[in-house]
């Protein structure tokens, strides 16, 4: 009888310890999770491409040139990309604040098939961005994820789909300015933008040499929205 009671006590102790561990783990998870947001409103960025006449594209059939060196914007298969192709991106950005920084997961379609992409953080001072003006109000720009650009690149599939996930810690950005540890609340406005690399190369903490890339799409997160 005494042995049975001891065994029962040991069993209860083990169960109690296990439950304590489970509850402690849950509490810890709750502590590291912060605000989160899901955005499926893709911004198609027109400021860094132009037509042969040097105008902002508007017709889906317009052949594109990048604005910095006026180079034809070519797809991996060699054809010149049209505005219809460039502006076809759709998808979703999921952002969540963690104890390591702001985690973002992007799920995308309508990308340039087999295209090489990098993702960038942009922060905006109040009153925020003006989407009719190129880069107006930007006070921070840098590689998303690790500041050295080691985890902000991906290659689209042959069907033009792609996914990427990364965590951006708070602090200085690779080009200029900074972002908070929780970009959803620490920055007045914060964008995650994707650049297409026509040369098929990435350049770590910088976007790349002029003439080799064009910013194609973005997702905007505004504090309080």
Quick one: DSSP state of residue 47?
T
Percentage, residues of the chain above pLDDT 70: 80
Strand, coil or helix: 94: strand
Across the chain, mean pLDDT equals 85
- Listed range (13-27, 87-101, 136-150, 201-215) with the worst mean pLDDT: 13-27
Tens digit of each residue's pLDDT (9 = 90 or more) over 182-219:
999 999 999 999 999 999 999 999 999 999 999 999 99
Q: Are residues 10 and 66 in the same domain?
A: no
Residues 45, 6 within the same domain: no
CA atoms within 13 A on the CB side of 142: 22
Lowest mean pLDDT: which of 11-15, 32-36, 144-148?
A: 11-15
Range of the domain at 12: 1-32
Structure tokens at 198: 């026509």
Local structure of 4: helix, strand or coil:
helix
Least confident among 91-105, 134-148, 157-171: 134-148
- Asked if residue 135 and residue 42 are part of one domain, the reply reads yes
Statement to judge: residues 73 and 166 lie in one domain: yes
Listed in sequence order, the residues at least 6 apart from 181 whose beta carbon sits closer than 8 Å to its beta carbon are: 97, 101, 102, 169, 170, 171
112 in the same domain as 182: yes
Number of domains the chain contains: 2
In this predicted structure, what is the pLDDT of residue 83? 98
DSSP letter for each residue of 183-209: HHHHSSEEEEEEEEETTS---TTS--S
Residues 5 and 105 in one domain: no
Residues 144, 203 within the same domain = yes
Q: CATH number for the domain including 71? A: 2.60.40
* pLDDT tops 80 at residue 12: no
Are 54 and 119 contained in the same domain?
yes
Average pLDDT over residues 70-88: 98
């Amino acid at each position: 009888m005494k042995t049975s009671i001891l065994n029962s006590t040991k069993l209860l102790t083990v169960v109690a310890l296990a439950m304590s561990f489970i509850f402690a783990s849950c509490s810890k998870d709750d502590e590291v999770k912060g605000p989160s947001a899901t955005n499926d409103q893709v911004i198609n960025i027109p400021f860094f491409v132009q037509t042969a006449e040097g105008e902002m594209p508007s017709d889906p059939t317009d052949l594109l040139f990048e604005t910095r060196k006026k180079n034809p914007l070519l797809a991996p298969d060699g054809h010149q990309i049209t505005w219809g192709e460039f502006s076809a991106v759709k998808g979703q950005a999921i952002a969540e604040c963690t104890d390591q920084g702001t985690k973002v997961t992007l799920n995308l379609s309508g990308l340039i098939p087999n295209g090489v992409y990098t993702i960038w953080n942009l922060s905006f001072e109040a009153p925020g961005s003006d989407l009719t003006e190129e880069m107006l109000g930007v006070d921070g720009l840098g590689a998303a994820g690790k500041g050295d650009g080691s985890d902000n690149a991906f290659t689209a599939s042959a069907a033009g789909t792609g996914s990427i996930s990364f965590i951006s810690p708070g602090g200085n950005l690779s080009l200029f300015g900074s972002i908070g540890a929780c970009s959803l609340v620490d920055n007045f406005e914060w964008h995650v933008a994707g650049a297409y690399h026509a040369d098929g190369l990435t350049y770590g903490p910088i976007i790349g040499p002029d003439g080799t890339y064009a910013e194609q799409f973005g997702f905007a997160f505004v504090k309080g929205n």
